Structure 1
C-alpha cells in the first residue's frame, strides 16, 4: 500500500508494528494471531476490545495468559478485566489449579452480557435473528416471501422483534444495536419474476425505514460483506484471516477479507463476482449470477415441472429433480473455476468459503466439484485456495448483520484502531 514516506511517531502501533506482533503471536499459537494491544492510556478502548477478543477466542483463560497473548502489562490487564466484569461482559470462574503458586482465577465471556439483532432482506426471503456475544443464535424468525416491498419488511421486522422477545431467550435491555444486510442494487438487478414495483428499493433509506422499529443504532451492510465479516469473527476466519467468501442466494455475491480486515475497494464494491460476464453454450445467462444462484436453479427446475419455493425443497425432489440439481452443480463448478483461479492469483487467500441459502449437503457437493476442477489446473498457477463450506453458512447474512453492532462496540477491528489513532 502506497503512503506518505515521512516517518511519524504514532501514539499507537502502526500497521507494520501490529503485523510484527501478529507474526510473533502466530508462532506461539494460531489462536492468538490477531491479538495485539498497546499499553498507552489513550488506547484504552482498543485494548479493551483486544482483551475481550482474546477471552472470546480462547475460552476460559487467566489474566496471566491474557497479558502474554496481548502484550499488555499485568496492571493493564487487571484494569481492563475489572471494567469488563463491571460491564457484565465477562465472568469469573473457579481458580486454575495444578500449577505452582497461588491458583489463578479463570475468566470467560458472559453469553448473556450483550445481544444484537440481525436482519437480512433479500429477494426471496426476510430473516431476523437475535445473537449473543458468543455468536449463538438465541431466536430466529423468517418469512419466505418473494420480492418483499419496504412496507412488508417493516411489518415483518416489527412482528419478528415482538416474537423473538416473547421467547425470553435474551434481555431487551442488553441489546446494543441492529445490523441489516441486503444486496447492493436490490431494486435494480433483473431476476426472474421481479415485479416492476420492486424498483422502489432504489429510493429507500433503510435506516429511516427501520428507525423506531428495531433497536438502534442501525448499521447497514451489503449481504455478502456481512456474511464475510461474520465468518471472520465467529467462523473459519479466526484461523484463516485472509479468505474469499462466496454467497449463494437469490443472486451471487462475494466478500474479500485480507489479514483480518474486510476489503471494500475504492468504491465499496469489491467482491462483486456475480457480475462477471459469462459466455457458455450450456446457458443463456450473460452473467455469473444469472447461472450460479438459487433463482437460476429454481428456473431450471421449473422448466422440468419441478417447482420449488424454498431451499429446503431441494432436499425432497424426485429423481428427475435431483438430476437437474446435479447438472446445475456440475455447471456451476465449471463456471466458477476460472473466476476462483483469478481470485487465487490476485489475492492468494487461505481459502474460499461458500455460504448462503443452498443446503449444506449441496454446498459440500459444489465445493468438492470445484476442488476437483481447481486441482486439475494446479500446474497453471502458483497457488490455489481450497474451497469449503463456511462455518457460518446457514443464515450467514442475517448472523453477519447481527455481528456488526458487536464489531462496532466491542470487538477489535482496523476501524476501531483508526478511531483511536485519530483521537
Structure 2
C-alpha cells in the first residue's frame, strides 16, 4: 500500500556499522588512556581479544596506531602496548568572530601545530572570506613544513562561529553576525580549500577542545559553559554533542532571566560576556591590548561590580543546566584572560542548591576549564578528528547517518573522508 505520509522509524544497525563503531571505541580508549595492551583494550571495551587484535591490525596498517616496545607485567609473553600516532591524521580549524579570524592546524592527538590569525575586515563577508582562505592556505603550507606529508592525511576543515544559526535575516546585526549568517560560507570555504567543511557554534568548538585534551577529557555527560564575546553552552550526552532540532541547543546566553538576581530582562549575555564587560569599562573589544586591559581591571578592582553581577547570573545558569541535564560536571572556560575566568569562578561559589549536589560525587559541580583566546579555533580543528574517529550512535547505524553536531539540518560541503 502506498501512503503519502512519511514512515517513521529508527535506523537499523548492520555489521559494517558495528565494526566502525568498535574501531572508534578502541581509538577513544587509546586517546583517553594512552598506550594500552590488547588485553587491557579487550577488558575495557568488552570486545573479544580477537576483535581487538583485528582492529589494532587495521589501525596499524592505516598508520593510526603503532606498537611500543614489549613490557613484561607478569608471567607469560610480554605485552606490547599500542598507542595512537599523532601524525596519523591532521585537521584544520577556522574561527570566525566579530573582530578576528583564527586558523589552527592540529594532529590526531589534538596538538595544535600551526596558528595564524588576522583582523576580520569590516563590511561584506566576501572580503573576509578571502582573508580566511589565505590564512588556511598559509596554515597548510606551514603544516607541510612542520610535518611533511601531512596534506595526504588531512581529514577536513572545522568552522566555528557564533550562533544561533538559521534565523530569519535581520539587517546587518553585528552582535548576531547576520551578514555572515546569511552567506553560504561552508560552500565557499569548501570550494576555496577543497576540504570537507563542518560547522559548530563557538561554545561547541571550545567544548570539543576541552574534551579532546582538557578538563573534560574522558567525560561523556557534561555541560561546557563558554564565556567569550557572548555566552553559550555545549551539551554532551553519552559522548556526543546534543545540537537540538536546528543546531542551536545550548544558546543559554539568549535566555531572559527574569528571576535571576538583579535581572534587567535582557538576555544574560548582554551582561555576562566579554562584550558586556567591555561596554561597562568603556573598552574596545577589538583593541590589540584588550586582555592586558582586562587583567588590569581585575587587579585594580574596577571590574568588581561587573564580576558580582555576572557571577549572580552565571550561578543561575549553572543551576538551571544542572536541574535540566544532571551532568557529571559543568566545565567553565572560554576566550577570556585567566585572571578574569578565575575571578568569576571564585565569585560563583558557593553555587545555588541543586539536586545534583549529592554525597559521593566524583567531580565538583563546577570545574574550571581553560581560558584561551585560541580555544575556539583549536576546537574547530578538533571537530574533523572527532567527526571521523569518536564513537557515535550514527556509526552503528546504516551508512549515511547524520552528524550529531548539527542535527538533521547539518550543512556540510566537500568530500567527506572515509570514517572509522
TM-score range, shorter chain: 0.7 to 0.9
Match of 2:272 in 1: 292
* Alpha carbons 1:96, 1:103 under 8 Å: kept: yes
* Alpha carbons 2:17, 2:395 under 8 Å: kept: no
* Alpha carbons 2:256, 2:267 under 8 Å: kept: yes
Q: Residue deviations 1:76-104, cap 9 Å, x none?
A: 22221111111111112100124211212
Match of 2:21 in 1: 46
Match of 1:370 in 2: 348
Unaligned runs of 5+ in 2: 1-9, 358-363, 402-420
Match of 1:91 in 2: 66
Match of 2:151 in 1: 172
Match of 1:332 in 2: 310
Distance 1:417 1:148 in 2: 44
1:56 aligns with 2:35: no
Give the number of aligned pairs. Answer: 380
Match of 2:211 in 1: 232
Unaligned runs of 5+ in 1: 1-7, 13-39
Return the offset for 1:187: 10
Distance 2:75 2:123 in 1: 62
Indicate which of 235, 244, 250 corresponds to 2:223.
244
Distance 2:222 2:349 in 1: 16
* Alpha carbons 1:130, 1:137 under 8 Å: kept: yes
Q: How does 1:301-320 map to 2 (within 5 A)?
A: 301-302=281-282, 308-309=287-288, 311-315=290-294, 317=296
Secondary structure of the residue aligned to 2:126 is helix
Return the offset for 1:186: 7.2
TM-score where L is the length of structure 2: 0.80
Distance 1:166 1:260 in 2: 33
Q: Residue deviations 1:56-80, cap 9 Å, x none?
A: 2221111121111112222222221
RMSD: 3.4
1:129 aligns with 2:104: yes
Closer, same or farther: CA 41–342 of 1 in aligned 2, 3 Å: closer
Closer, same or farther: CA 298–189 of 1 in aligned 2, 3 Å: farther
Q: Residue deviations 1:351-382, cap 9 Å, x none?
A: 2112221112221221121123x1xx43xx32
Match of 2:86 in 1: 111
Indicate which of 120, 125, 130 corresponds to 1:150.
125
Which structure has the highest helix share of the two?
1
1:256 aligns with 2:231: no
Secondary structure of the residue aligned to 1:247 is strand
Q: Higher relative contact order by CA 8 Å / sep ≥ 6: 1 or 2? A: 2
* Alpha carbons 1:333, 1:366 under 8 Å: kept: yes
Return the offset for 1:111: 0.7
Return the offset for 1:241: 2.1
